[in-house]
Amino acid sequence: MGVIGIQLVVTMVMASVMQKIIPHYSLARWLLCNGSLRWYQHPTEEELRILAGKQQKGKSKKDRKYNGHIESKPLTIPKDIDLHLETKSVTEVDTLGFTNFSDSAMQFLEKQGLESQGPVSKLTFKFFLALFCSLIGAFLTFPGLRLAQMHLDALNLATEKITQ
């Protein structure tokens, strides 16, 4: 049980250190925004219509007959059109959309009846994550130590038989 306690303490200390460092030195931000990751801006429907050579349908007498209700068929574009997509590098401003995702996820959870209590729930989540990680580490450490001890005992037994 001593290893679990030590590992839990080290995990909690490292989690708090990482929490303080990450806003200033983020590995994920560096990986996303170093210029190697690019995104393609998709064309508008009008641009696709022009490239495909299709015209926008105007209103006809048939449309007026149904009070302007038009059955919209999906726009089909041939595969062999000369389409060039504009590429842009991912910047830090683009990554700010992830916080919007986080906010919308919180709103979704609130609509489902799951309320967040702010920092308390985050602290609770981090605590249980640290506990879970320490238990997984302990469960993987003890069998490894036991296997290593068994291997060492087998080597010692084999060397004793050879020397006798």
Is residue 78 left, alpha or beta, with left meaning phi > 0 and alpha meaning psi from -120 to 50? beta
User: What confidence category does residue 85 fall into, taking pLDDT thresholds of 50, 70 and 90?
Assistant: confident
Lookup result for tokens 């925004």: 33
- Beta carbons of 54 and 75 less than 8 angstroms apart: yes
User: What confidence category does residue 31 fall into, taking pLDDT thresholds of 50, 70 and 90?
Assistant: confident
Q: What is the pLDDT of residues 95-151, one digit of tens each?
A: 777 666 667 767 777 787 776 666 556 677 778 888 888 888 888 887 888 888 898
The total domain count for the chain is 1
Q: Please determine, for residue 92, whether its predicted confidence score (pLDDT) is greater than 70.
A: yes
Residue 137, in any domain of the structure: yes
Residue 19, in any domain of the structure: yes
DSSP of 38-95? EEEEPPPHHHHHHHHT-PPPPP-HHHHHTTT---PPPPP--TTS----EEEE--HHHH
What is the structure's pLDDT at 61?
59
What is the structure's pLDDT at 71?
61
Residue 70, in any domain of the structure: no
Residue 52, in any domain of the structure: no
Q: How far apart are CA 11 and CA 6, in angstroms?
A: 8
3-state SS record for 118-162: CHHHHHHHHHHHHHHHHHHHHHHHHHHHHHHHHHHHHHHHHHHHH
The structure tokens listed for 147 are 């296997």
What is the structure's pLDDT at 76?
83
Residue 92, in any domain of the structure: no
Q: How far apart are CA 100 and CA 33, in angstroms?
A: 18
Q: What is the pLDDT of residues 34-80, one digit of tens each?
A: 888 888 888 888 888 888 888 776 555 555 555 656 666 777 888 88
What is the structure's pLDDT at 116?
61
More reliable by pLDDT, 136 or 29: 136
Residue 161, in any domain of the structure: yes
Residue 7, in any domain of the structure: yes
